[in-house]
Structure 1
Amino acid sequence: MTTTLEPGLSTDVAVRLDGVRKAFGPTGRAVVALDGMDLTVAPGEFVCLLGASGCGKSTLLNLVAGLDQPTSGSITLETSRPAVMFQEAALMPWLTAARNVELPLRLAGFGRAERREKAAELLELVRLGGAGDKRPHELSGGMRQRVALARALAATLRVGGDTEQSLLLMDEPFAALDAITRDVLQGELLRVYRSTGTSVLFVTHDVREAVRLGQRVVLLSSRPGRVVREWRDVQASDAEELTLEITGHLREVISTHAAA
């Protein structure tokens, strides 16, 4: 069961999952992806979900995004409709970068002039101010992901300048990029995050990425996924030491799953 609250009913939660369970398939032969998932993201918080492949990280994002429904448990959402950014940029190849960013604004009911203005602002925010007239095939992989980030941010906007809290769901958005481009875009994401105050739920299997980006790192068990450990105040910790600690716990999770 999913519970979606109207804006204004809570001030200390962007999204909360209580006892969420998600099973796929018929009873008796169902594959349980998540079981007993409890997680809260505060407004403006950057949370990284870390876990082995198949632990239900992407399933969790799909549930929060409303793309699927939990089998049981509840999801409380106190933001505008979440925007999702995937590993692939998934831009419309026949549209320019600016028009790709404008698309969610058009669906939200913005007028043409306001769409163009806001798309230009968002492209400037991701440092692509001069690339608005280019189509995806004219852009590098990193530039396409910047456009995808601008489009995701556009999807959180509402007509009338509503200041309602926004939520960005990111499913390993930099995994397909080379190491140098990934490093640059991680820095750019932090800059954009700090300038917008958007809540972020970021899925990764890369411990170093999680430590660099997250204010909080949450480790999920192997399938069925549930929270087994979390680290707070990550940015105030020694990055190298924390990376080694989290890596050790992640290896325990993976080895436990392999032995099962």
Structure 2
Amino acid sequence: MTTTLPTGRSNFTGAAAVRLDGVRKAFGTAGRAVVALDGVDLTVAPGEFVCLLGASGCGKSTLLNLVAGLDAPSAGEITLNTSRPAVMFQEAALMPWLTAARNVELPLRLAGFGRAERREKAAELLELVRLNGAGGKRPHELSGGMRQRVALARALAATLRVGGDPEQSLLLMDEPFAALDAITRDVLQSELLRVYRSTGTSVLFVTHDVREAVRLGQRVVLLSSRPGRVVREWTDVPLADAEELTEEITGHLREVISTHAAA
């Protein structure tokens, strides 16, 4: 059964993979500043898959960028207890002159792995995403879905550190399947769940698709429209009736959008 929480705090009280306390982000100078996020409190437990849901422009991607360290909050604190997060975007953004295997090896090289070890790890990750026969192909030789699999393998590689614990990792995903056709998206959602269950990594997944959030997440967090604040959480999502929960969350999302439009 799902539990609806009216605040941004989860029931988790242990050491978080990432914790946001009172995070605020404003763009621009005083008087003309646009506040994207305001007072966001959010915790992702180690090994937890959290889907961050909201309307377009509510600050979901901004929040992900802050967690990734690509930008700094205007106020509040972000605490990471994992290795540096890896980010996966809508576009695969692979290096076109490198093979699939070399694309996956790149973050391993930057992390200090030796040639033999990074080749072995890249092969393992390509096999994990079911591309073990495509390591020698370049991006233009791969379908859109295959390129996103390579991007996923590369993101997982980016969470690894020499001598580090592979389970102490955080994967940030910014609508990675939004540009794919429905069938490919469905397949990759299933693949992502399989990879997630086999790796133990923590995942913070941004989407505007309620069905995707319900299918993937252990917990779904709803942001208000700008400025983004956590307004609802649904826990124990895999135990809930998917259709019933989708309708419930869709109703709250519509309320958020309507309130913003009327403001």
Normalising by structure 2, we get a TM-score of 0.94
Distance 1:66 1:140 in 2: 30
* Counterpart Cα distance in 1 of 2:240 and 2:141: 40
Deviations 1:27-63 (A, max 9, x none): 1110000000000000000000000000000000000
Shift of 1:160: 2.5
CA contact (8 A) 1:13 1:42 kept: yes
Aligned position for 2:99:
96
Q: How far apart in 1 are the matches of 2:207 and 2:7? A: 29
Cα separation, 2, equivalents of 1:5 and 1:214: 16
8 Å CA contact 1:87, 1:175 repeated in 2: yes
Partner residue in 1 for 2:88 = 85
Deviation of 1:83 (Å): 0.2
Q: CA deviation at 1:148?
A: 0.1
Contact kept, 8 Å, 2:86 with 2:158, in 1: the verdict is yes
Residues 64 and 48 of structure 1: CA distance in aligned 2, closer, same or farther (over 3 Å): same
When residues 145 and 6 of structure 1 are mapped into structure 2, their CA distance, relative to the original with a 3 A threshold, is farther
Question: Of the two structures, which has the highest relative contact order with CA contacts closer than 8 Å and spacing of 6 or more?
Answer: 2
Contact 1:65/1:84 (8 A) holds in 2: yes
Does structure 2 conserve the Cα–Cα contact (< 8 Å) formed by 1:5 and 1:77? no
Q: CA RMSD in A?
A: 5.4
Distance 1:219 1:3, change over 3 A: closer
Unaligned runs of 5+ in 1: none
Q: Contact conserved, 2:26 with 2:34, CA < 8 A, in 1? A: yes
- 1:80–1:164 contact (8 Å) kept in structure 2: no
Contact 2:2/2:235 (<8 A) preserved: no
After superposition, give the CA deviation of every residue in 1:62-87 in whole Å (9 maximum; x if it has no partner). Answer: 00000000000000100000000000
Aligned residue number for residue 209 of structure 2:
206
Q: Does 1:13 align with 2:39?
A: no
Deviations 1:186-217 (A, max 9, x none): 00000000000000000000000000000000
TM-score where L is the length of structure 1: 0.95
2:167–2:201 CA contact under 8 A, matched in 1:
no
Check conservation: 1:15, 1:41, Cα contact below 8 A.
yes
Contact 1:44 1:199 (8 Å CA) reproduced? yes
- Distance in 2 between residues matched to 1:21 and 1:48, nearest whole Å: 20
Counterpart residue number, 2:39: 36
Shift in CA distance, 16/8, structure 1 to aligned 2, threshold 3 Å: closer
Structure 2 contact 22–77 (Cα < 8 Å) conserved: yes
Structure 1: which 4+ aligned runs deviate by more than 6 Å? Answer: 1-10
For 2:251, the equivalent position in structure 1 comes to: 248
Alignment partners' CA distance in 2, 1:102 and 1:64: 24
Q: 2:229 aligns with which of 226, 229, 236?
A: 226
Distance in 2, matches of 1:105 and 1:175, equals 27
Mark the runs of 5 or more structure 2 residues left unpaired by the alignment.
none
Sequence identity (%): 92
| Alpha-carbon distance change, 95 to 147 in structure 1, aligned in 2, over 3 angstroms | same
Q: In 1, distance between residues paired with 2:255 and 2:177? A: 25
Q: Is the 8 A contact 1:24 1:31 kept in 2?
A: yes
Residue 159 of structure 1 and its aligned partner are, at CA, apart by 1.1
- Please report how far the alpha carbon of residue 182 of structure 1 lies from its aligned counterpart in structure 2 after TM superposition: 0.1
Is the CA contact 1:3–1:77 (under 8 Å) kept in the aligned structure 2?
A: no
Residues 32 and 224, structure 1, Cα contact 8 Å, conserved in 2 = yes
What CA distance in whole angstroms lies between the structure 1 residues aligned with 2:2 and 2:25? 12
Report the CA distance shift for 1:15/1:96 in structure 2 as closer, same or farther (over 3 A): same
Change (3 A) 1:6 1:54: closer
Shift of 1:7: 28
Secondary structure of the residue aligned to 1:54 is coil
Indicate conservation of the 8 Å contact 1:120/1:129, yes or no: yes
Cα shift at 1:93: 0.3
Task: Give CA deviations for 1:134-159 in whole Å, capped at 9, x if unaligned.
Answer: 00000000000000000000001111
Is contact 1:105-1:154 (8 Å) kept? yes
SS of 2:112's equivalent in the other structure is: coil
Seen in structure 2, the aligned counterparts of structure 1 residues 56 and 206 have a Cα distance that, compared at 3 Å, is same
Inter-CA distance 202–251: structure 2 relative to 1 (3 Å threshold): same
Identify the match of residue 136 of structure 1 among 116, 135, 139. 139
